[in-house]
Structure formats: C-alpha cells, structure tokens
Amino acid sequence: MLAAMAAFFMFTVMNVFAKLLSVRHSVIEIAFYRNLIACMPFLIMVFVLGKRDILVIRSKPSLIGLRAVLGAISLVTTFAAFSLMPMAETTVLLFTSSLFIPVLGVIFLRESVGPYRWAAVVIGFTGVVIMASPAGQVSALGITVAIAAALMHATLQIVLRYLGRHESPETVTFYFLVIGALITALPLPLVAVTPTMAEVPLLFGVGLSGALAQWLLSTAFRNAQAAIVTVFNYSGIVWATLFGWLIWNDWPVPTVLIGASVVIASNGLIIWRESRARQITGARIRAKF
C-alpha cells in the first residue's frame, strides 16, 4: 500500500514537471525526454548488470510494438491535457479511463459486463458533463484532450491485459520506453527548443519520476491485490490539488468538485463490483474442491 501511494505521488510529480516545462517546450519534446531518461535504468540493467532476458520477446513482437506506439501517443496527449488545464481537473478526467475499459473489454476481449458496471459508466460520464458545464470554467479543448488521453490509457490497459499472459512487465516497459523515445524523436527538429540550465533538472525530473513511479507500481501489484492498489489511484487527486494550489494558485470551483465526486464514485462502484465478482468466483472454485 505504501508503494502504491508513493507511485501515484510520483506520477503526479512527473505531471507537475511536464506542466512546468510545457510553458516553453512542446509536449512531444517533453515526452521524448521522459522516455529517454526513463529507459536509462533499463539500459544499465541490460548492458552493465547483464540482465539480457529483458530484451527477449517471447511471442508477441507486433503487439509490443503496438503498445509502444499507443503509449507514446498516450503520453503526449496526457502531457497536453495537463498543459491546457489545472492539475486537479485533468487528474479527475483521466480517471474516466476506467469507464472506457468495460466498453473496450466487450469490444476487443469479448468480456461480459453486467448492469452494475454499465450503470457506473453512465454515472461517471454524467460527472464529466457536470464538470464541462459553463459554470465549471474548464477548457473545452482541455476536456477533449484529457478524455482522449483517458481513452488511450484504457486501450493500453486492454493491450496490457493480453500481453501480460505472454511477456514480462520489464520487457514490455523497456520496449515501450525505447520505441517511444524513437517515435517522439522524429518531430524534434520541428518542435525542439534548447533547454535552459534551469530546465535541465525539470527534464531529468520528468524521466526519473516516471521511471520510479512505474517501478513502485509494479512493486505494489506484486505485493497487494489489484483492487487495493487501484483504490490508491485516488490519492492522485489529493496530490494534484495540493500542487495546483501551491504552484499555480488553482483551486477547483464547486461545479468541478461535484463532477469530480461523481466520477470518483462511479470508479469506486466499478472497483467494488470487480472485487465482489472475484470473491464470488473464488468461492465457487473453492466449493468445487
């Protein structure tokens, strides 16, 4: 649980660095540095510590490539959303990724989705509509980009569910970072700006905080149930609100707070229902023996 809380704190720190850099730098350039710096620990493990098994793709090279491409797009859209809107509002809108997952699971994995989860999806998007109302004072472009980023996050979760059956997390993450760095490097001649000395620590902060967040999240999932780890995702709204207030003097208006509460409640319903379904399935399996 400590690892989960620390992971979502570090994800927020990464987004803070990205938002600060977006004043002068393209989000594509920021994503490039994030991937480049984050893959350095993996390169050390492979070429210095000799952990060559990270390079081995067991059976799904095309899917790993697809995951890397989608991941690069997802990272760029996420940073773009934070550049357009306050921290707290963007963080809440990214929570809608869990609302897309049941829909995508039905389409691509032929998963069955019951009335509880469909109700949660409807409730969650009602919260988004409340946040997007004129009184919410939230950028329409920012909402669109954040929802697009959430959809990309959900798509990645579906791809990772399938990849997890065939490839190790280290291998998937390594190729995501390397390929993502190559993809985001292509437009750099058109968008890159030479960093100032004051910005260099921010660039390293984006990469290192992202890499640390990924490692902490893997540690959390290795030592606790997924339902428990997922609950700590909502600590991100606390960190995002705190950083938004301290750095940009942003504080969510009442309409945004109401919409955010609805989105978080819908996510909580999904988590509870999935946890309940696993308990019932486990009980049925034990009953057979």
Torsion of CA 113, 116, 151, 135, to 10 degrees: 160
Amino acid at 245: W
Tell me what pLDDT residue 28 has. 96
* CA–CA distance, 132 with 173 (Å, rounded to integer): 34
30-85 residue pLDDT tens: 999 999 999 998 889 898 888 888 888 887 788 888 888 999 999 999 999 999 99
Classify residue 195 by its DSSP letter: P
pLDDT attached to residue 275: 67
pLDDT given at position 15: 96
What are the tokens at 207?
């990469």
Every domain of the chain and the residues it spans: 2-288
Q: What is the pLDDT of residue 19?
A: 96
Cα separation, 180 vs 75, in Å, equals 9
Residues, the chain, total?
Answer: 289
Structure tokens at 185: 């490097």
Are the C-beta atoms of 234 and 267 separated by less than 8 Å? yes
Q: What is the pLDDT of residue 200?
A: 94
Mean pLDDT, contiguous 10-residue spans, the chain (289 residues): 87 96 96 94 88 85 88 94 92 84 70 72 80 64 91 83 73 88 95 94 94 82 68 81 92 80 79 66 54
Two structure tokens written together for 158: 């579906």
What b/e sequence results for 35-48 when a residue is b if at least 16 CB atoms lie within 10 Å of its CB, and e otherwise? bbbbbebbeebbee
User: For residue 41, what are its two tokens?
Assistant: 């620990």
Burial status of residue 142 (CB atoms within 10 A of its CB: 0-12, 13-18, 19 or more):
buried
pLDDT for position 228? 67
User: Residue 39: phi, psi to the nearest 5?
Assistant: -80, -10
What are the tens digits of pLDDT across the range 78-109?
A: 999 999 999 988 988 898 887 787 777 677 66
pTM of the model: 0.84
